[in-house]
């Protein structure tokens, strides 16, 4: 699915963890390690990168390129976002200042690429499923595609979650509460069915879950028992996203596991059948 992996590097433990994760994910995909600096005179810590490579399987040949670029990190990495690219970034164990990390800001960009934010603390996630969250959007269907591809790569199952709640404007009439809730649930079940239909011809084992719950809470809890959590971003832009809120951004602020956010493409795809 991905033809290249770009890793953000700044010499910190968080970026080292991101590189380690990318190497373990690798699968013969070229890896480009990019260090963005404010001044061209700044150097690249090649020795630390080599140390990370040496800790991996010695017999394996890595296709790794290192690159140093001058500029603003957000703009440099935003230019790397495209459908064939997995952009991997670390997150510090202790946030200082704003929690709007580089990964969270990039998640709102267009381009169709996928942003992966890797927690600083490694854990044993062998055999754990890949979890995908869907909301009925075209972007979340692309997230399902990514989740299936990653699950096949890891030889694990896929769990697809869709959370729903009654509309905030809902004013139930006495005696009709149960009937209304059944209608709402039926509408949301079609959203989950669209996502499951996307996986119909896949070799992966896929299970869908419809839950009446808060989407962030549901996915954060599912991520605690997952090897990966894959969601979509709708590219609202930083200002609108700040006021509207975003499940994907909230997950990136405190990732329960490696979180992959599929960014929105500029070109539109045909709508799911249930939306027509």
Helix (H, G, I), strand (E, B) or coil at 258: coil
H/E stretch holding 34 reads strand 31-37
Query: How high is the pLDDT of residue 269?
Result: 45
Q: What share of the chain is helix, strand, coil (3-state, %, to 5)?
A: 35, 20, 45
Q: What backbone phi and psi angles, to 5 degrees, belong to 24?
A: -70, -35
Q: Where in the chain is the domain with CATH 3.40.50.620?
A: 4-90, 130-231+241-256
Q: 239 falls in which pLDDT band (50, 70, 90)?
A: very low
- Residue 226 · residue 257 · CB < 8 Å: yes
User: pLDDT of 164-176, one tens digit each?
Assistant: 987 766 666 655 6
Tell me which of 59 and 126 has the higher pLDDT.
Answer: 126
Helices 13-25 and 46-55 sit at what angle, rounded to 10 degrees? 40
Query: How high is the pLDDT of residue 243?
Result: 37
In Å, how far are 172, 178, 184, 186, 258 from 175, measured between CA atoms?
8, 8, 16, 19, 45
DSSP 8-state secondary structure symbol assigned to residue 81: -
In Å, how far are 75, 82, 242 from 104, measured between CA atoms?
13, 17, 11
Query: How high is the pLDDT of residue 235?
Result: 56
User: pLDDT of 59-104, one tens digit each?
Assistant: 455 688 999 999 999 999 999 988 899 999 998 765 554 556 788 8
Q: 266 falls in which pLDDT band (50, 70, 90)?
A: low
Q: Hey, how many other C-beta atoms are within 10 angstroms of the C-beta on 37?
A: 16
Query: How high is the pLDDT of residue 249?
Result: 79
Q: Hey, how many other C-beta atoms are within 10 angstroms of the C-beta on 259?
A: 28
Q: Is the dihedral of CA 211, 216, 217, 220 positive or negative?
A: positive
Average pLDDT of every residue of the chain: 83
Residue 62: left (phi > 0), alpha (psi -120 to 50), or beta? beta
**What is the mean predicted confidence (pLDDT) over 20-32?**
86
**What is the mean predicted confidence (pLDDT) over 249-276?**
73
**What is the mean predicted confidence (pLDDT) over 31-58?**
76
Q: What backbone phi and psi angles, to 5 degrees, belong to 63?
A: -95, 80
User: pLDDT of 176-210, one tens digit each?
Assistant: 667 777 888 888 999 999 999 999 999 999 999 99
Side-chain half-sphere of 130: how many Cα atoms within 13 Å? 24
Side-chain half-sphere of 200: how many Cα atoms within 13 Å? 6
Tell me which of 179 and 133 has the higher pLDDT.
Answer: 133
Query: How high is the pLDDT of residue 270?
Result: 46
Q: Does domain 130-231+241-256 have CATH number 3.30.930.10?
A: no
Residue 161, beta-bridge partner list: 133, 209
4-90 belongs to which homologous superfamily?
HUPs (3.40.50.620)
Q: Flag whether pLDDT at 137 surpasses 70.
A: yes
């Amino acid at each position: 699915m991905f033809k290249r992996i770009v890793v953000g590097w700044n010499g910190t433990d968080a970026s080292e963890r991101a590189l380690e994760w990318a190497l373990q994910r690798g699968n013969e995909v070229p890896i480009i390690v990019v260090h963005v600096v404010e001044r061209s005179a700044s150097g690249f810590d090649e020795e630390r990168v080599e140390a990370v490579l040496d800790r991996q399987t010695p017999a394996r040949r890595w296709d790794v390129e290192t690159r140093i670029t001058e500029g603003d990190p957000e703009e440099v990495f935003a230019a790397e976002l495209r459908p064939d690219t997995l952009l991997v970034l670390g997150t510090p164990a202790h946030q200082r200042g704003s929690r709007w990390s580089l990964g969270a800001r990039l998640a709102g960009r267009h381009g169709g690429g996928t942003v992966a934010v890797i927690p600083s603390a490694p854990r044993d996630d062998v055999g754990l499923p890949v979890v995908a969250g869907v909301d009925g959007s075209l972007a979340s269907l692309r997230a399902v595609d990514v989740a299936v591809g990653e699950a096949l790569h890891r030889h694990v199952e896929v769990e697809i979650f869709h959370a729903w709640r009654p509309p905030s404007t809902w004013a139930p009439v006495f005696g009709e509460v149960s009937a209304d809730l059944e209608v709402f649930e039926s509408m949301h079940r079609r959203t989950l069915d669209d996502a499951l239909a996307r996986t119909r011809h896949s070799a992966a084992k896929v299970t869908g879950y419809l839950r009446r719950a808060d989407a962030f809470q549901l996915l954060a809890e599912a991520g605690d028992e997952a090897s990966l959590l894959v969601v979509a971003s709708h590219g609202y832009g930083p200002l609108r996203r700040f006021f509207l809120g975003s499940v994907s951004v909230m997950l990136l602020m405190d990732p329960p596991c490696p979180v992959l956010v599929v960014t929105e493409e500029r070109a539109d795809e045909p709508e799911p059948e249930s939306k027509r």
